Amino acid sequence: ETGVTQTPRHLVMGMTNKKSLKCEQHLGHNAMYWYKQSAKKPLELMFVYSLEERVENNSVPSRFSPECPNSSHLFLHLHTLQPEDSALYLCASSQAPAGSLFGYTFGSGTRLTVV
Amino acid sequence: EDQVTQSPEALRLQEGESSSLNCSYTVSGLRGLFWYRQDPGKGPEFLFTLYSAGEEKEKERLKATLTKKESFLHITAPKPEDSATYLCAVQGYQGGSEKLVFGKGTKLTVNP
């Protein structure tokens, strides 16, 4: 496999459930990102990991918990979500630091619906 | 705070009808301005990076230009397969931050 792979593609969960989103990159990049994409809104940066260390947390509620066990894998753990958290969650990678100027590579996203 | 505004929000063109999309930005020191294409149900696909005013880049029917305040994505003789949402993003000098700030996008529809 090449590029950035996200699983699952679709997820429906209740507000009391716990689930995880997975992202895997096969590009040899060393920075990974979680973005949230809602209708009529710009992509919102949630978390940045560079060299497996979290370098940015954009005031994201604690019900979202990221994990980066190595430079190829990124997880987003979800618990007690709200309906307004329903969105497309995108993972991206780049070669930090200057390499991000060559553009991020995005996965296809996980479409999350909270019921 | 870095900001990106894209216009129009949506654009409908006939096949072969050339037009331009606009991206206005404010950033504290521009490291790069990015254009992405996003198809429904997919993640954004990288198109161009522009680094300084006056720079231009081309790819097939697309040409991106950059000034100190805005960028244009010119589409020449578009085809239906060019239909997508086009996203603009900027990266500024924010303590070495790697983050990109995105606009809301322009949804382009090209009718045959």
- Asked whether the beta carbons of B50 and B69 are under 8 A apart, the reply is no
pLDDT at A81 over 90: yes
Closest C-alpha among B23, B41, B37 to residue B101: B23
d(CA B61, CA B76): 5
Question: B28-75: per-residue pLDDT in tens?
Answer: 888 889 999 999 989 999 999 999 999 999 999 999 999 999 999 999
What pLDDT is attached to residue A36?
96
Please, what is the average pLDDT of chain A? Answer: 90
Yes or no, beta carbons of A42 and B101 under 8 Å apart: yes
Identify the DSSP state of A23: E
What pLDDT is attached to residue A99?
53
Residue A2: pLDDT band (50, 70, 90) is low
pLDDT at B85 over 90: yes
Contacts of A101 in chain B (CB under 8 A): 31-32, 49, 51, 91
User: What Rg value do the Cα atoms of chain B yield, rounded?
Assistant: 14
What pLDDT is attached to residue A65?
95
Q: Which of A34, A38, A104, A111 to mutate to test the interface with B (most CBs of B within 10 A)?
A: A104
Q: What are phi and psi of A84, to 5 degrees?
A: -70, -5
Contacts of A56 in chain B (CB under 8 A): 97-99
- Asked whether the beta carbons of B3 and B18 are under 8 A apart, the reply is no
pLDDT at A79 over 80: yes
Percent of chain B beyond pLDDT 70?
A: 96
What pLDDT is attached to residue A59?
84
Residue A50: pLDDT band (50, 70, 90) is confident
What pLDDT is attached to residue A98?
53
pLDDT at A52 over 80: no
Residue owning tokens 């198109």: B47
DSSP A16-65: T-EEEEEEEE-S--SEEEEEEE-TTS--EEEEEEETTEEEEE-S--TTEE
